[in-house]
Amino acid sequence: MIYEGANGIQALDLVGRKLMKDGGRAWQTFFAEVDEFVADNKDNEEMKPFIDGLALAKERTQEATQWMAANAMQNFNHAGASSMDYLSLFSLTCLAYAWAQSAKAALEKKDAGDDFYKNKLITGRYFVERILPETGMHLDKIKTGSDTMMAMPAEAF
């Protein structure tokens, strides 16, 4: 994030223009790809923290997407109020997918004697345990909508 307003513009663009483009084909394709990866790796005990974290993040992102489709498309104040959290939630889910893929590759080479792979798994676990739980916070914030944010009249400013 560069925090100069670009993130907010990108978040509004994602929610306002791209989310429902082509009937939501992009996110539906992404969710299907994640589901396939989870299904293919769910029985690998060493992958469990990565798969569980990814599956939960995807579930939360899917719930947020459904909320946005049902609410934000009818009331753009909801879209505006929730867009940054939606962008953050989706981003964390994408990162969880990337970390799960990295973990799978590292597990295949972890016994090669190179600490790089062991350290990659440690770093990935840090992400899963310390960063990825933020998906719950973002989902909660998205679902509050804009009512409180828009409650104060403009004259109060």
Residue 79 falls within a domain, yes or no?
A: yes
pLDDT, one tens digit per residue, over 99-116 is 999 999 999 998 888 899
Is the separation of the CB atoms in 1 and 7 below 8 Å? Answer: yes
Is the separation of the CB atoms in 58 and 35 below 8 Å? Answer: yes
Number of structural domains the chain divides into: 1
**Catalytic hit among 4, 33, 63, 134:** 4
pLDDT, one tens digit per residue, over 125-146 is 999 999 999 999 999 999 999 9
Residue 21 falls within a domain, yes or no?
A: yes
Residue 10 falls within a domain, yes or no?
A: yes
Residue 45 falls within a domain, yes or no?
A: yes
Q: What is the pLDDT of residue 1?
A: 60
Q: For residue 107, what are the contacts with CB-CB under 8 A and spacing of at least 6?
A: 44, 46, 47, 117, 121
Residue 130 falls within a domain, yes or no?
A: yes
pTM of the model: 0.93
Measure the CA–CA gap between 93 and 139, rounded to whole angstroms. Answer: 12
The answer on pLDDT for 3 being more than 80 is no
Residue 56 falls within a domain, yes or no?
A: yes
Query: In terms of residue numbers, what domain contains 52?
Result: 6-146
Tell me, yes or no, if 4 is annotated catalytic: yes
Is the separation of the CB atoms in 48 and 104 below 8 Å? Answer: no
Residue 156 falls within a domain, yes or no?
A: no
Q: H or E segment at 5?
A: none
Residue 78 falls within a domain, yes or no?
A: yes
Is the separation of the CB atoms in 149 and 82 below 8 Å? Answer: no
